[in-house]
Copies of this chain bind each other. A is one copy, B any other.
Amino acid sequence: MQIAILLFDRFTALDAVGPYEILCRTPGARTEFVAERVGPVANDLGSLSLVAERTLAEVTRPDIVVVPGGPGQGAQMENEAVLGWLRAVDATTTWTTSVCTGSLLLAAAGLLTGRRATSHWLSLDRLAALGAEPTGERFVFDGKYVTAAGVSSGIDMGLGLLGRIAGDRVAQSVQLLTEYDPRPPYDAGSPEKAPADLVAEFRAGRPPATVTAPSS
């Protein structure tokens, strides 16, 4: 089984590494980071680079595709090299997945039309405009399409997907290995829970300094 994780300039690191850390432990799976060109790909803040080991042209029939989001997603929305690759590999994938604004790329490729899906909470309207049916769930299965909410939600999605692929016991093993028993010291992880004025600042495009909201 081949798992391909797409990288592009200004992706958000945890969008990719969260599901990676879970899914790379799928029994019998080989996980590969792919991009238009091999070599280091810099994240949204430019202070982290993950190495793409394969070009899109080299990875033609992955069983699972994972598409992260991040501010760089905007520049990919009309990049036919990426959108065409997503359409082509989707024809034979077992699972086509995304985290955060990665779902906007899947939607732009025409893969989520009429499907229940999710994205970063600030991008749900945009997802609807691209033809999907947004939900507020943490992660959503619609057939073989699995989409997750913002950034950290890819860990939850990874565990849910691993359970479907390899069974509950393997998923529980990986949860135990990664000690995923979250205890956030704050309770502001969704627009329903965060202080209302903070949510309003994000919606107005004025998040606090150094906090870059996802672009469209």
Contact = CB atoms under 8 A, between A and B. Distances in A.
Given A18-B14, A51-B40, A175-B194, A181 B185 contact: no
Interface stretch (A56-64, A108-116, A125-133, A165-173): A165-173
Contact of A17 (B14, B25, B159, B171): B14
B211 A25 contact: yes
Nearest to A149: B179
Contacts of A176: 188-191, 194, 198-199, 202
A179 B160 contact: no
What is the predominant secondary structure among interface residues of chain A facing chain B? Answer: loop
Interface stretch (A41-49, A79-87, A90-98): A41-49
B27 A210 contact: yes
Interface residues of A, number: 75
A186 B170 contact: no
A198 B174 CA distance: 11
A24 interface: yes
Given A40-B51, A47-B30, A153 B179 contact: yes
Nearest to A183: B138
B21 A174 contact: no
A151 B199 CA distance: 29
A173 B176 CA distance: 29
B168 A186 contact: yes
Contact of A185 (B17, B159, B186): B159
A182 B182 contact: yes
Interface in A11-67: 12-14, 17-18, 20-21, 24-33, 40, 45, 47-51, 53
Nearest to A191: B176
Interface of A: 12-14, 17-18, 20-21, 24-33, 40, 45, 47-51, 53, 100, 120-121, 138, 149-153, 155-156, 159-160, 163, 168-186, 188-191, 193-195, 198-199, 202, 207-213
